[in-house]
Structure 1
Amino acid sequence: MKPDKVALLKLVHYKMPFGKYKGRYLVDLPIPYLLWFQQRGYPAGKLGEYLQTMLDIKSNGLEPMIRTLQKEFPSDTS
Structure 2
Amino acid sequence: MPRLEEIHDNLLDRLKEARGQGWLGEVAAIEASMAAAEDKLASMREMAAKHTTTSLGMPDFHPSVGRRASGS
With normalisation by structure 1, the TM-score equals 0.32
With normalisation by structure 2, the TM-score equals 0.34
Indicate the structure with greater helix content.
2
